[in-house]
Amino acid sequence: MVDATETTAAARRGRRPERIARITVAWTVVYAGFGLACALSGTPPLRLGGAVGPPVLGWAVVAVAAMAAGLCRAVSGRAPRRVPLTGWWVVCALLGIAAFGLLMDVVTLVFGQGVDSWAAAANHALAATGAVLLAATARSARPAGPASDADRAPAPSAASRPVRLAAWGGTLAFVPYAAMKVLWVTGGTFAGVSGEEMLAASERNGASDLWLTLESWGVDGTVLLAALGVLLLWGLVRPWGQVFPRWTPWVRGRRVPRWLLLGPALVGAATLAPYG
């Protein structure tokens, strides 16, 4: 019975790369169609603030989708299975660059401000989805062997000391930002700019009433994201971040899926790093 169970589990693991590859191929079709529509209609798929990219970049989107489809063929068995990992990560990096701005799109939509360009926002979302799918496909393409104790998820534990120090560094990086917000909400100035001036600038830029109200209290969307970032930092390095909290009885004790923490962490890092 044990041997049969292990055989079934191994068979499922063997089919997993093909299933993920098929999903990724479906994404490549959608992404290529999006790029083709942008190129033929003259709609720029990329935009950064007031800078609008040329519509010809739609063909670049088609090219990236074609590259991703070619990589997926290796997993589906229709091409040599041995593909250098460099190819996977190059395409993932290109998609990560194309996804830049996704976090800002989410923030502006949540607070009712809309987005500068729906085509650019769609490109951000599709590119981020593709990067995740390609990374999952590359990871699942590794040769599958029988299950062992090493393959099972380890018990929740704290990260190593250097990683915890990195979390402390990330937390302290928010301190100047918090000090700036405190000065503004208490009537002070920071770098020669007052809170009233920032509020007036946000109003001129078309900020929603919700955003303006929160900003007048010193807790606008960026502050909420900063608090979420600190929570995410410590959830990644402490045992409590690896299991659902005790106050959620319907999932008590269950492990948090890796993507639930790593997904927001990677999106946040990819968005904030260029600003830094």
- Is the confidence at residue 143, as pLDDT, over 60? no
Among all chains, which residue has been given the structure tokens 């976090």? 103
- CA 233 vs. chain centroid, Å, equals 15
Among all chains, which residue has been given the structure tokens 């190129």? 39
pLDDT tens digits along 127-142: 989 988 888 887 776 5
**Residue 65, Cβ neighbours under 10 Å: how many?**
25
pLDDT tens digits along 45-69: 887 656 677 888 889 999 999 999 8
What whole-number distance in Å separates Cα of residue 245 and Cα of residue 152? 21
What whole-number distance in Å separates Cα of residue 101 and Cα of residue 272? 9
- Is the confidence at residue 114, as pLDDT, over 80? no
pTM of the predicted model as reported, rounded to 2 decimal places = 0.66
Tokens of 60: 């670049």
**Counting beta carbons within 10 angstroms of the beta carbon of residue 161, is it exposed (0 to 12), middle (13 to 18) or buried (19 or more)?**
exposed
Instruction: Please name the residues in contact with 205: beta carbons below 8 A apart, sequence gap of 6 or more.
Output: none
What whole-number distance in Å separates Cα of residue 99 and Cα of residue 97? 5
Over the chain, what HEC string results?
CHHHHHHHHHHHHHHHHHHHHHHHHHHHHHHHHHHHHHHHHCCCCCEECCEECCCCHHHHHHHHHHHHHHHHHHHHCCCCCCCCHHHHHHHHHHHHHHCCCHHHHHHHHHCCCCCCCHHHHHHHHHHHHHHHHHHHHHHHCCCCCCCCHHHCCCCCCCCCHHHHHHHHHHHHCCHHHHHHHHHHHCCCEECCEEHHHHHHHHHHCCCCHHHHHHHHHCCCHHHHHHHHHHHHHHHHHCHHHHECCCCCHHHCCCECCHHHHHHHHHHHHHHHHHHC
Which residue(s) pair with 255 in the sheet?
243
- Per-residue pLDDT at 153: 57
Residues 88-93: what's their mean pLDDT? 84
Q: For all residues of the chain together, what is the average pLDDT? A: 77
What whole-number distance in Å separates Cα of residue 34 and Cα of residue 98? 13
- Per-residue pLDDT at 9: 44
What whole-number distance in Å separates Cα of residue 210 and Cα of residue 14? 50
Query: Quick check: 156 and 137 in contact, CB under 8 A?
Result: no
Instruction: Tell me the pLDDT band of 5, cut-offs 50, 70 and 90.
Output: very low
